[in-house]
Chain A
Amino acid sequence: MSYRDATIAAPLARPLVTRRTRELLLGYAYLLPVAVCLGGTVLVPILKAIHMSLYNHVLIKPQEYRFIGLGNYARLLGDDVFWLTLWNSAWWVFGSVSLQFLGGFAAALLLHQAFAGRALVRTVTLLPWVIPGVVVALVWEYIYQPNYGILNDLLFRLGWLHERVAWLSDPRLAMPAVIMTNIWRGVPFFAIMLLAGLQAIPDELYEAARVDGASVTQRFWHVTLPLLRPIIVVATATRIIWTFNYADLIFVMTSGGPANATQITSTYTLLQAYSNLDFGYAATLSVVLLLIMLAFTIAYLRVTRGVESVA
């Protein structure tokens, strides 16, 4: 067929769906497997948890399984331990993340400098993050052990301690002690994130600031910090959500004790689910945790709207 024949052919019938719609549908079709996977692994469990929270669902009492509406939520309002765990969670999250951030920032600034053995120091800095949480908890439990732990021994040798301190058994010290462990574990996360951000800042900006007569502090406040802001926001928000739900460390180190001094909402949820086998109430606690985190995420998205464009 010649080119001329083709051009004089009858015009094609108008397609059922436009090209734009077809492309749109194709796009959705490509996304479908992922959407199904996400729906199955994220949405269904959430809906299941909400469903379970509306039932009296205690595994050891199957005969008492029944719909109770918001009964579990009403119980939660009157549960003093739940409110205590929320307060403890706030301390746990604020104490851990703020100091992890400061430590991580300091480490990132240090690792950003050129010095001999930098690669080794970077690797060592990353180690606490690489070790599984349960192992970290066991190691620190031994460090804090009052009778044969290394911490007391060290402080004794330095003459700073005259009586053995039960770091994890004293309700006043237990939370700071587990927070300290979490800080140790979380510093590398911030260090690596912020180091990546620092390395992305062009040297020209510092040179220009220096030419303009900016001091080290001024360069930090007016160049480094604003350019790191997107990373700081994203890393901090992520870490806050992780820490709020992170139960391994406390579960292994103190089981929420002594006297609920380190009981946070996520460990309390575990206790309800696996000790009391009260899946209905545990699901209620999970839903409340979800709502708190959802509120936090929405607030975070509003506050950080447009932050990414700063860079």
Chain B
Amino acid sequence: MDVASERWQLSRRQFLRTLAASGAIAAGDLAWWEEPFLSTRKAYGATPVRFQFSVPEPKRNALVESLVQRFNQSQKDFEVKVEFVPQAQARQKLITSITAGSPPDCCQVWDNWVGEFEGMGAVEDLTAQVKDWKHYRDVLPIAWETVTVKGKILSFPWVVTNDAIYYRTDRLKEYGLKAPSDDWTWDDFLTLAKGFTKADRNQYGFGMRGQGTWAVLYATEFMYGNGAQVLKDGKVVINGKEAVEGLDWYLDLLRKHKVTPPSVPTDGWRQIVEGFGRGITNTYLHNSGSSEEQKGFVGPQNFATVPLPMGPTKKRASFYFSETLTAFKAAKNREGAWRFMTFLMEDEPHAMYCKTLGLLPARKTVADRPEFAKDPALAGFVKSFPFSIVSPYLAHAGWGGKLDSEGVPLFQQAMVGKISAKECLDKFAEVLTKNMA
């Protein structure tokens, strides 16, 4: 064999090796939900289960379709049919279908809607079943708290999330700024936001939110940093001195220090996430749900998360929310709904759903996996667990809609200086008090 053919043989072997290796890498790299599920369906004539899913976007759709397919192929009794509904219409569609007496068998909704559905007497009480469920004790107690209304467990906390601050690590180095520590203060936050603000370069220190329910929630979290509370001994105390001072300080980031973009009063979720992704803002407050998106926008190495800063009273709070799996009393297939919901809470479906969306698993054993516990993009959220609380606005069913229709305009008025923080909170407290029932 001459040298040339030997080289050719080696090369061919190498080629085959490379081919095999790249195949293995590609297979490993394939998204879990795109892998073919090879087992055949066991039986026909399964009872249908209607499942409404309300965040239709390509990635979630593919994931949910795959989960549904896996469930359908794993047993013979039920067949889940998923109905994708735009998020903006989901709550309205559910309420309309509940009123009409034909809700889906189960659905994915945010915990702040569950209270409203309970107010309508529409949600199935899962307490007894859940307490007998094999993973009951593996779910974080606070996650159960997000779906417990008047002592009844009404849903599965599919995933949980709390709030933390996202910040750009690359710009931190570029501008020679000090990285925030886990126990940083409001002063540190302001210093960082000022250092990050370069208006001439169209860069701002903080992507404040002024639109949507969370505009009120984020402001409230800062108020908690000053020792304020929404409810105390069953009374609304959101207009107390600590809250007013806290809100004033928070709004001054926009009004006085101008460390936020001028568009804040109408900036919603999309704008704050995109503002950071486009490099216009260098910090923003949000839940872990946008961490995966930011990995694509700014790169995983260029950002990190840190807990909210501590206020002058050395307090702080991050509000807990959960994305739930909820079943309805008027459902036609309650057994099927239960089977599907418990399937989604099993190790792999649960882990894959959370991992894909950058959310935190409600089950402790899944949350302890390195992909959640060790991810720097999630560190701020994990470190916020000790002081995270269930959102105080979940306490009353009537508050959900009022946050949007009356709370947001009031906070916007305070943002643009039409009313003072005190006037804003006095009026807001009146709205909350009126709708406590």
Contacts and interface: CB of A to CB of B under 8 A. Distances in A.
Does B bind A?
A: yes
Interface of A: 59-63, 81, 145-148, 164-166, 168-171, 174, 254-260, 263, 271-272, 274-278
B262 A166 contact: yes
B182 interface: no
**Interface SS, B side:** helix
A257 B401 contact: no
B280 to A, nearest CB: 5
A275 B280 contact: no
A259 B419 CA distance: 10
Interface string B256-294: 000001111111000000010010100000000000000
B327 interface: no
B412 A258 contact: yes
Given A62-B121, A166-B262, A263 B92 contact: no
Given A148-B280, A257-B412, A274-B92, A169 B265 contact: yes
B120 A258 contact: no
Contacts of B400: 60
A278 B435 CA distance: 13
12 contacts: A60-B400, A62-B121, A148-B280, A166-B261, A169-B210, A169-B266, A255-B211, A257-B211, A258-B266, A259-B265, A259-B409, A263-B409
A257 B275 contact: no
Contact of B404 (A148, A260, A271): A271
B262 A257 contact: no
B264 A169 contact: yes
A104 to B, nearest CB: 29
A170 B202 contact: no
A5 B263 CA distance: 95
B217 to A, nearest CB: 16
Nearest to A149: B263
A258 B99 contact: no
Interface residues of B, number: 36
Contact of B263 (A62, A168, A260): A168
A145 B274 CA distance: 12
A193 B138 CA distance: 68
B67 interface: no
A276 B264 contact: no
A257 B415 CA distance: 11
B111 interface: no
Nearest to B275: A147
B278 to A, nearest CB: 6
A258 B210 contact: yes
Given A60-B95, A147-B280, A169 B262 contact: yes
Contacts of A171: 265, 416, 418
Given A59-B95, A275-B404, A254 B266 contact: yes
Contacts of B275: 147
A60 B266 contact: no
A259 B418 contact: yes
Contacts of A147: 202, 261, 263, 275, 278, 280
B401 A259 contact: no
B119 interface: yes
Nearest to A278: B401
B262 A60 contact: no
Most B CB within 10 A of own CB, among A147, A164, A274: A147
A213 B95 CA distance: 70
B271 to A, nearest CB: 8
Contact of A164 (B262, B405, B412): B262
Contacts of B180: none
A263 B404 CA distance: 13
B69 interface: no
Contacts of B266: 166, 168-169, 174, 254-255, 257-258
B105 to A, nearest CB: 21
B432 to A, nearest CB: 14
A246 to B, nearest CB: 19
B91 to A, nearest CB: 8
A257 B412 CA distance: 8
Contacts of A277: 92, 95, 116, 401
B418 A275 contact: no
B213 to A, nearest CB: 9
Contacts of A271: 404-405
A271 B212 CA distance: 12
Contacts of B367: none
B315 interface: no
Nearest to A62: B120
Listed from nearest, the 5 A-B pairs whose CB atoms lie closest are: A258-B265, A166-B262, A259-B413, A259-B412, A276-B401
B397 interface: yes
Contacts of B263: 145-147, 166, 168-169
